[in-house]
Structures are given as structure tokens and as C-alpha cells.
Amino acid sequence: MGYHHALGKAWGEAMLVKSIRADQAIQASGFESAESYLHMIEWLRQGDFPSFLINHVESELHAQDAGSRLMSVVCGAGIKPETKLRVAGDNEDVGYVKALSMIFPLSLTVVGGNGVIWLLDVEAGYHATGMDVPDGFALRFDFNVIEARASG
């Protein structure tokens, strides 16, 4: 039996993630592409993956269009992790992660507040700094639309 994500399903299975809107859920798939990065994703300190990512994307969409509804999220291959290290003293073989960026390529299906269905290709990114300093941790979320197409 394979690894299971926080929602209890095996990677590769479609799942429903609770929406930030009451009594709604979002269809999610493709997150098996993140399995080899789970140890790094935990460093973001955001809780259950992929729920936190999907809910952050949903919050960003609502900030742009309060009437929008996120219907589905597909995580693509090509997740981009990047770390920055601080060398420990004179020993260049020992270091501490001081910053981490994780960029997730996502395909979204969104119903706009006006009822139009949109297909969006986005990059959702987290940028953590101060990871090597007690009480210095800071996290920024970026949301960039790469392509938008109206469906139908």
C-alpha cells in the first residue's frame, strides 16, 4: 500500500477538499507529483497538504472576484523547489536552510461571479525566509495567472 496524504486517500486518487465557503468542496487531483517534496512542504508550516494550498488559491480568487467559485484544481508536474543555505561556521559540509521557495503549477476550473467558466493555468508559490533564526520565520504566498481561457 502506498503513501497516503493528509486527506486519507492514496496519492493519484481524485479527492474532495473542503472549501473556505460553507458546505462546498473542491475537486483536486494530480498531487502525487508533490510526493517527493513532502518533507520540504512540511517546512512551510501550513498544516495539511494539499488542503492549505487549495484554500490559499481559493482565497486569492475570492479577493479578485468575491462571487467566484473554485470547482477543481489539478497539480501539474514541474513543481519548482529552491533552497538557500547558511553554512555553519568554517565547515562547508554543514549548513542550515535559511529560505525555501516552492512553486506549484496548477490548472484551475473557476466559475466567475458572472457565471462564466474559466480555465486558468497558474503558478502558486510560497516563499519562506528566516527558517534558520528562532522566531524569524516569515511566509509569503504568490499567485500568478499564466493563462486564462473562457470555457465554451
Q: What is the pLDDT of residues 58-100, one digit of tens each?
A: 999 999 999 999 999 999 999 999 999 888 777 777 788 999 9
- Express as a percent the part of the chain with pLDDT over 90: 78
Parallel, antiparallel or unpaired: strands 69-75 and 25-29: parallel
Identify the domain containing residue 142 by its residue range: 15-150
pTM: 0.87
User: Residue 32 falls within a domain, yes or no?
Assistant: yes
Q: Give the other-Cβ count within 10 Å of 109's Cβ.
A: 17
User: Residue 62 falls within a domain, yes or no?
Assistant: yes
User: Residue 94 falls within a domain, yes or no?
Assistant: yes
- Note the pLDDT of residue 3: 39
Distance between first and last Cα of the chain: 40
Nearest to 50 by CA among 64, 129, 66, 58: 58
Per-residue confidence band for 4, with pLDDT thresholds at 50, 70 and 90 = very low
User: Residue 129 falls within a domain, yes or no?
Assistant: yes
User: Residue 71 falls within a domain, yes or no?
Assistant: yes
The total number of structural domains in the chain stands at: 1
Do the Cβ atoms of 99 and 78 come closer than 8 Å? no
Give the helix/strand (H/E) hosting 70.
strand 69-75
User: Residue 6 falls within a domain, yes or no?
Assistant: no
User: Residue 8 falls within a domain, yes or no?
Assistant: no
